[in-house]
Amino acid sequence: MTAPDPARHWLLRALFRLPNLAALVGLILLWEFVASVWLPRSDPYLATLMPPPTQVFTTAVELIRSGELGFHLLASLKREAVAFLFALAAVPLGLLMGWFRPIHAQLDPIVEVLRPIPPLAWIPLSILWFGIGDAQNQFIIFLGMFFPILINTIDGVAKVEPVLVRAARSLGAGEWKVIKRVVLKAALPQIVTGVRVGLGVGWMALVAAELVGASSGLGFMINDARSVLRTDIIVVGMITIGFVGLVIDMLLRFATRKLLPWSVSNAK
Amino acid sequence: MTAPDPARHWLLRALFRLPNLAALVGLILLWEFVASVWLPRSDPYLATLMPPPTQVFTTAVELIRSGELGFHLLASLKREAVAFLFALAAVPLGLLMGWFRPIHAQLDPIVEVLRPIPPLAWIPLSILWFGIGDAQNQFIIFLGMFFPILINTIDGVAKVEPVLVRAARSLGAGEWKVIKRVVLKAALPQIVTGVRVGLGVGWMALVAAELVGASSGLGFMINDARSVLRTDIIVVGMITIGFVGLVIDMLLRFATRKLLPWSVSNAK
Amino acid sequence: MGRLSIENVSKIYGDPASEGAVVALRDVSLDIPDHAFCAILGHSGCGKTTLLNMVAGFERPTFGEVSIGGEPVSRPGWRNTMIFQEYALFPWMNVAENIEFGLEMKKLPQQEREEARRTYVDLVGLQGFETKYPRQLSGGMRQRVAIARALAVCPEVLLMDEPFAALDAQTRGAMQDELVRIWRREPKTVMLVTHSIDEAIKLADKVVVLSRRPGRVKDVVEIGLERPRDEDHADYIALRRRLRELIYDDFDERS
Amino acid sequence: MGRLSIENVSKIYGDPASEGAVVALRDVSLDIPDHAFCAILGHSGCGKTTLLNMVAGFERPTFGEVSIGGEPVSRPGWRNTMIFQEYALFPWMNVAENIEFGLEMKKLPQQEREEARRTYVDLVGLQGFETKYPRQLSGGMRQRVAIARALAVCPEVLLMDEPFAALDAQTRGAMQDELVRIWRREPKTVMLVTHSIDEAIKLADKVVVLSRRPGRVKDVVEIGLERPRDEDHADYIALRRRLRELIYDDFDERS
Amino acid sequence: AQGGGFTQWGWPQPYEKVSQKSVDWLKEKGWWPLTFGWQGPFSGQNTINVVLSKTDMLQKRGLETKFQAFASGPDVNEAVASGRVQVGNGGNFPFTSLIDRGLPVKALAVVAPNLKHSTVAPKDSPLKSLADLKGSNPPAVIGIVTGSSSEFYFTQAAETVGLKIGTDVVLKNMPPSEQITLPRGVAAVAPWEPTVTIITEERKAGKEIDTIFPYNFYEGRFYVRQEIIDEAPDVAQAISDAFMEASLWIRLKPDEAADMLAAEPLLKNYGRDLLVKQVRTYNNLYKPTYSFPHAKFWGEEDARIAKWLKDRNRIRRPLTAEDYANSFDDRFMRKTYEKLGWTIPKAPPFIPADWKGEIGKLPYPPYPNAETLKEPQIWPEAGDLTRAWSFDGKSFAP
Ligand SMILES: Nc1ncnc2c1ncn2[C@@H]1O[C@H](COP(=O)(O)OP(=O)(O)OP(=O)(O)O)[C@@H](O)[C@H]1O
Ligand SMILES: Nc1ncnc2c1ncn2[C@@H]1O[C@H](COP(=O)(O)OP(=O)(O)OP(=O)(O)O)[C@@H](O)[C@H]1O
Ligand SMILES: [Mg+2]
Ligand SMILES: [Mg+2]
């Protein structure tokens, strides 16, 4: 980032002096004001749909204390994890598609048509294939994860510097060694990017995934709270999803820095 | 892509000789076989859940002929378009956040927490804010589009080559000119990438967006067909979404090549 | 007007009081008369770019002062414009637009802009390439566009940071000749950073040799040779030997 | 064993019958004895890299044949290994792992591999840097790793495509000296592509000058000078003049 | 309303218009057109909404209206809570959430009482009744909509039959759209109409092994925002009147009503036979007084639901029969019946005069319902009218 001379504009100078989370805190205060002062004035019942942060906080504390939030969170995380293990199949598939042109030519049209179909739309067919229960929920999450990992792996392979492949061949490496020792390794940073995107999308597919057959999970909690008009629980669920999604992403970024110390995108 | 010597393996050689869509055609034939021969034998009820391609095709023809598919497609496209216009606000916001560190510091925590929240979870609040009807549907799509565009714009600005900024300053450009003539332009290819991703995600949010209060659109069509188990309509809807998603992406890629002829990612 | 004077300039990166502070330059003073061509030679990391950046206004000296024509330098601008090694052409503008960019920033009217553009396109010999984009040009041609763009704003001081390092040997030779030709037709105060002794001798009136970090002025060698300069001339060979000694003098490390 | 012979080799890109076919090389024959150091000089685009690629086994001649020690070259491998301008080190391997890569491919047992690695780390003077990753090294050090990695597989022919072009002038000089030192301790048949006349004279036994496209052998100049070679020696200057004339002979274009 | 005679479907002429003051008030509130929210995927019980939306019964009373279909109860609730919908309908469960959250709505009428909920097993399943599920190992999976009337029904039935939830059976959340598929791994599903009929008769994939009738009197509610009652009571009256008029219209023209349903985007995929049957069952089977809001009766029955929900921690405060009773406002329906010349009924028409049952004491003794009632109840019978009334050209005397 090439920041400009900070001294130039008084507004910027003022912004510079703000503590880091000022905007976030401001937003929360505004929300509190709207939900507990302004909304009730225009219609005393609107706050049902937009509970003030204080009430959300109380509800959150309650849900945490009763263990409910933890229970749902754990259930969702477990589903994510299982789905992720299956979604990792996108890595070898992506390697094959990225490396062997004819395989790419055959499979790419299929991938391209399947990719934009929303996970939600797969629910009926997935019930047919997996029945109801965890496998079906996991499948929906899996769909969200699979394509980003696949696309990034293919892309990562396509972007492997040809000179590295030539170097390996020139040092006597055969086809298989080239794929395993060079292509896979060189594509790894982008595969990891794919994993990050995939985990994000998979996490966002939670609500859709837990629409059917689940009786636990954050998505279920939200869907269920809707049916009893508990917007406070919905907001707690949303914030939990948002926050945990953020934490997962940060952990992954951290892990990448540790595990792929040589990666360019980490160097900067 | 550094393809290997194609002559090396007989399997690869065979693959090379296959016509381009062989795998897709093979898949469709397999599906036809499973749905109209194998499933009815093992369990006749299951067959209704997995209509054979021939039936899907018949249904599609019917829906097209009656104008229904076109009607829903148009409604969805219209929603996408409106949502997209609003989502473009992510571009100036992203420029500001990418360029001015203090703005980034303030807004980033908010963005990071809001981003992973699935559009589906916003439904209750969005009804409060936008009522029922198109605005609410569009808001859900908007959410899907906004963050990819924002994130990519920020990232694009962060990656602007500092030497270009220096060059502009050294030629006498002031702050505003630097932003308008250099930063925006240099970030444009990545902004376009963000737009592509955003349109994709927005398109995938259709089904969730048209869950409430809509009585048109592909998402509505799928949701509605679900309630009466018309799996053939669901599959037609899925394929339409998949296919149109693909077409949108291709159009955008094409437009980019025409409009940003200088972009690096187009050069290769 | 374009006289460049650098007075007791030091540059320290980081908090001067802290452990990690890097003294990039120490107490550098230079005086370059108007329209003189000065080359800076020195090892990698000795502070050449730092010095140029301060003259260009991108950075400020920790101590001392840089001034052009008596006026202290406070910010980047067209008076002290820089040509970068990577050319730094705007990839989304064609040749004509790149060259006109600085003129637009100077708010010149359209017509004058076009005239100036034509002059400088001619000067660097790029007639017919006005509508090409940078990526459609060879390395040497890009370098010419960068030179034309910088000259078009009529800078008082022209700064160049290893402008030819990215070119292959033949093209580099041709561009050096070109630069001399252009500079003689349109004299400017020039400050050029290079790693190449030959380049310095071939181009400059005055070669400033910096010592290893922290950079100080080790010597200033005046090149009295006629232009164009003959590499095989005895004086040239002697100058080369002298500069080589100055440079390798403290070059012990291997890489 | 490492005698390299190139017999009536032509390379045409694209369908020879079509309009767009590019004749990169025409009827090139060369014979480089075992352990000789040969440099290839020529303009950009004259087919130097193409020639090297065919010797390395990355491409096949359209006509003619390349053979090493009497055996035709059919594919890349350690016998005819290449060192690239961009170093082409594997960024995810440290120095030791990079050097051992080729040995692993040769399926050498662990112990031999480690011994060989030690030998070559010593040879290029990188003791103590074994566990560093490429991006932690300077350009010159990376180039050394690339050389060690290539030498470690004991190639019969060592190919280099402008190996020093990305280094700055001082480092380049040092690396050239280094290469000569290493080559003398461990003689190989070497084929080195360069744009620099000085580099060719400084390093090679034999300088092959290629003509502009389509590349043909214009002349082969034997460098009879003692090593280390003195740039200011009269014979050196004469050779330089001769090569410069051969090269610039048909250099009319400007960029 | 005297002297003008009756329409063919029995509505006394002329129509009464709402006052300009009320219209102005609605406009000022931003509630113009007045928006009705209804749940699309249900068919028979929604006929009144569809007919109201496609005829001019409300316009004739001076109201401009808009009908908005929603896919599920929570959607309607959210729309009502935000004030974007001012007249709503839904099952007793979503309505409970409205009461629980203190949203100001009052039910004017009851719709689709005793809507059938059934336990449906795959056709070839060995199950014959709920009792067969006893001792299932592993526990049999039952697909239900969590937190809905069908969960309530099933748990009540299970308790009555002696099934243990968790050991004999486990309940899995499934929207009706998924229940239709009778997916692999479920022993049975517990949908409500029309899904029950779709599975058993249209798709012929399943069979009913149990129904709701002995365990719960289900009811849907037709409600308005309290503000309308307070500020524009004539509007509430007009809505109540139009509701009854539509109900009578459907009674006269069930096939036309089914056609109107079929034209709804949300319902067009249903078969016509199904729609006709649903209309006949849920509007025409009972006497038209099924819609009278018997606050005490329904209050007591619904209080069982509230207790059950509270036990499951799904609502925040215990709701009593009184709370429920207070959520009805029968003044408007009384006036409507007066205009029609109908006697105010003492009990819902499906409660036989000699019924021995007691609310909350399961199982309930038999009573006429969609399953047992082969012919529509006779209307009007002696004592149903206070004045002469005419329907389909026939005149009836009290
Ligand atoms: N922003 C900075 N922060 C800290 N140290 C810096 C910074 N910029 C440069 N340095 C250090 O200052 C010294 C001089 O750097 P400078 O880039 O001026 O050298 P140079 O002579 O241009 O080298 P080269 O020939 O490699 O371009 C170096 O040691 C460098 O590491
Ligand atoms: N794959 C290819 N397809 C078509 N033409 C090619 C291909 N590779 C090289 N050429 C052409 O063949 C000619 C020789 O290219 P080559 O890369 O061998 O030149 P070079 O001497 O190495 O040039 P330089 O000094 O710039 O590296 C050039 O005109 C080039 O454009
Ligand atoms: Mg520098
Ligand atoms: Mg080359």
Does the structure show a pLDDT above 90 at D165?
A: no
Q: What is the three-class DSSP state of D190?
A: strand
Asked if E125 reaches chain B (Cβ–Cβ under 8 Å), the answer is no
Q: With pLDDT > 70 as the criterion, what percentage of chain D qualifies?
A: 97
Which residues of chain E are within 8 Å of residue A224 when distances are taken between CB atoms? 146-147, 173
pLDDT band at A3 (very low <50, low <70, confident <90, very high): very low
Residue B103 maps to a domain: yes
Closest listed ligand to the CA of D24 = 2
Does the structure show a pLDDT above 70 at A8?
A: no
Q: Are residues B109 and B211 in the same domain?
A: yes
Q: Are residues A60 and A37 in the same domain?
A: no
pLDDT digits (tens, 9 = 90+) for D215-232: 889 999 999 888 888 887
For chain B, how many structural domains are there in total?
2
Q: D251, C168: Cβ pair inside 8 Å?
A: no
pLDDT of residue B230: 82
pLDDT of residue C14: 84
pLDDT of residue C213: 76
pLDDT band at C76 (very low <50, low <70, confident <90, very high): very high
Q: Are residues B58 and B34 in the same domain?
A: no
Torsions phi, psi of C218, nearest 5? Answer: -85, -40
DSSP-assigned letters across all residues of E22-44:
HHHHHHHHT--SEEEEEETT--G
* Of residues E102 and E285, more confidently modeled: E285
- Nearest Cα to Cα of residue E272 among E286, E256, E251, E250: E256
Neighbour tally for E4: CB within 10 Å: 11
Q: How far is C240 from chain B (nearest CA, A)?
A: 32
Query: Cα–Cα distances in Å, from E152 out to A250, B48, E128, E171, E361?
Result: 43, 30, 21, 11, 15
Question: Where among A33, A50, A67 does a domain terminate?
Answer: A50
Q: Taking a C-beta distance cutoff of 8 angstroms, is the pair D43, D212 a contact?
A: yes
Q: Taking a C-beta distance cutoff of 8 angstroms, is the pair D216, D63 a contact?
A: no
Q: Are residues B41 and B148 in the same domain?
A: no
pLDDT band at D253 (very low <50, low <70, confident <90, very high): very low
Q: Are residues B147 and B24 in the same domain?
A: no
Q: Are residues B69 and B39 in the same domain?
A: no
DSSP-assigned letters across all residues of E271-322:
-HHHHHHHHHHHHSSS-GGGGS--HHHHHHHHHHHHHHHHHTT-SSS---HH
Most confident of B61-75, B129-143, C217-231: B61-75
CB-nearest partner of D171 from C139, C140, C255:
C255
Q: How far is CA D36 from the centre of its chain?
A: 12
Taking CA atoms only, the protein residue closest to ligand 1 atom 6 is: C13
Ligand 2 in reach of D194 Cβ (< 6 A): no
Q: A229, E101: Cβ pair inside 8 Å?
A: yes
Lowest-confidence segment of A3-12, B201-210, D40-49 by average pLDDT: A3-12
CB-nearest partner of E181 from B49, B131, B216:
B49
Does the structure show a pLDDT above 70 at B6?
A: no
- Nearest Cα to Cα of residue E114 among E262, E346, E301: E301
Q: Identify each DSSP E strand in chain D by its residue range.
A: 4-13, 22-32, 37-41, 63-68, 71-72, 80-83, 157-161, 189-194, 206-210, 217-222
Does the structure show a pLDDT above 70 at E376?
A: yes
pLDDT band at B1 (very low <50, low <70, confident <90, very high): very low
Does the structure show a pLDDT above 80 at B263?
A: no
Residue B5 maps to a domain: no
Q: Ligand 1: which of C43, C50, C51, C199 to mutate, judged by most atoms within 8 Å of the beta carbon? A: C50
pLDDT digits (tens, 9 = 90+) for A182-218: 999 999 988 998 998 899 889 888 888 888 888 889 9
Asked if A264 reaches chain D (Cβ–Cβ under 8 Å), the answer is yes
Q: With pLDDT > 70 as the criterion, what percentage of chain C qualifies?
A: 97
Q: What is the mean pLDDT of residues C143-167?
A: 90
pLDDT of residue C226: 86
Alpha-carbon gap, residue A233 to C2, rounded angstroms: 71
Which ligand 1 atom minimizes the distance to the CA of C11?
Answer: 12
Q: Which domains does chain C have, with CATH numbers?
A: 1-67+156-164+188-255 (3.40.50.300)
pLDDT of residue E7: 93
Which ligand 1 atom minimizes the distance to the CA of C53?
Answer: 18
Alpha-carbon gap, residue B243 to B251, rounded angstroms: 12
Q: Are residues B23 and B144 in the same domain?
A: no
If phi > 0 it is left, if psi is from -120 to 50 it is alpha, else beta; for residue C222 that is: beta
- What residues make up the domain containing B29? 18-50
pLDDT band at E235 (very low <50, low <70, confident <90, very high): very high
Torsions phi, psi of E106, nearest 5? Answer: -130, 135
pLDDT of residue E26: 95
Alpha-carbon gap, residue C203 to C190, rounded angstroms: 10
Residue B13 maps to a domain: no
Q: Taking a C-beta distance cutoff of 8 angstroms, is the pair E334, E236 a contact?
A: no
Q: Taking a C-beta distance cutoff of 8 angstroms, is the pair E45, E112 a contact?
A: yes
Candidates A159, A170, A266: best to mutate against D (most CBs of D within 10 A) is A170
Which residues of chain B are within 8 Å of residue A241 when distances are taken between CB atoms? 116-118, 121
Q: With pLDDT > 70 as the criterion, what percentage of chain B qualifies?
A: 89
pLDDT of residue B3: 41
Q: What is the mean pLDDT of residues E32-55?
A: 85
Which ligand 1 atom minimizes the distance to the CA of C52?
Answer: 18
Q: C169, D197: Cβ pair inside 8 Å?
A: yes
Alpha-carbon gap, residue B159 to B178, rounded angstroms: 15
- Nearest Cα to Cα of residue B8 among D60, A107, A176, D106: A176
Taking CA atoms only, the protein residue closest to ligand 2 atom 7 is: D13
Most confident of B42-46, B229-233, E221-225: E221-225
Residue B11 maps to a domain: no
pLDDT band at A264 (very low <50, low <70, confident <90, very high): low
pLDDT band at E1 (very low <50, low <70, confident <90, very high): very low
pLDDT band at C230 (very low <50, low <70, confident <90, very high): confident
Q: What is the mean pLDDT of residues C225-242?
A: 86
pLDDT of residue B40: 78
- Nearest Cα to Cα of residue C140 among C170, C180, C95: C170
Touching status, chains B and C (3+ beta-carbon pairs under 8 Å):
yes
Q: Are residues B144 and B222 in the same domain?
A: yes
Instruction: Give the mean pLDDT of chain B.
Output: 85
Does the structure show a pLDDT above 70 at E124?
A: yes
Candidates B166, B170, B179, B260: best to mutate against C (most CBs of C within 10 A) is B170
Q: What is the three-class DSSP state of E122?
A: strand
pLDDT of residue A267: 38
Q: What is the mean pLDDT of residues D147-164?
A: 92
CB-nearest partner of C88 from B167, B172, B177:
B167
Does the structure show a pLDDT above 80 at E240?
A: yes
pLDDT of residue A149: 94
pLDDT of residue D251: 47
One-letter amino acid at A157 equals: V
Lowest-confidence segment of A4-8, A243-247, C59-63 by average pLDDT: A4-8
Q: C170, D44: Cβ pair inside 8 Å?
A: yes
pLDDT digits (tens, 9 = 90+) for A40-96: 887 778 778 888 999 999 999 999 999 999 999 999 999 999 999 999 999 999 999
Q: Are residues B145 and B244 in the same domain?
A: yes
pLDDT band at A15 (very low <50, low <70, confident <90, very high): low
Which residues of chain B are within 8 Å of residue A8 when distances are taken between CB atoms? 175
Instruction: Give the mean pLDDT of chain A.
Output: 86
Alpha-carbon gap, residue E395 to E393, rounded angstroms: 7
Q: Are residues B24 and B109 in the same domain?
A: no
Does the structure show a pLDDT above 80 at D169?
A: no
Residue A150 maps to a domain: yes
Does the structure show a pLDDT above 60 at C227?
A: yes
Residue B147 maps to a domain: yes
Residue B144 maps to a domain: yes
Q: How far is C106 from chain D (nearest CA, A)?
A: 31
CATH of the domain at B175: 1.10.3720.10
Instruction: Give the mean pLDDT of chain D.
Output: 89
Q: Are residues B77 and B30 in the same domain?
A: no
* Of residues B8 and A68, more confidently modeled: A68
Does the structure show a pLDDT above 90 at C113?
A: yes
Residue B2 maps to a domain: no
Ligand 2 in reach of D251 Cβ (< 6 A): no
- Nearest Cα to Cα of residue D103 among D147, D158, D144, D153: D153
Q: Are residues A27 and A57 in the same domain?
A: no
Q: How far is B236 from chain A (nearest CA, A)?
A: 11
pLDDT digits (tens, 9 = 90+) for B83-125: 999 999 999 999 999 999 888 988 988 898 888 888 888 887 8
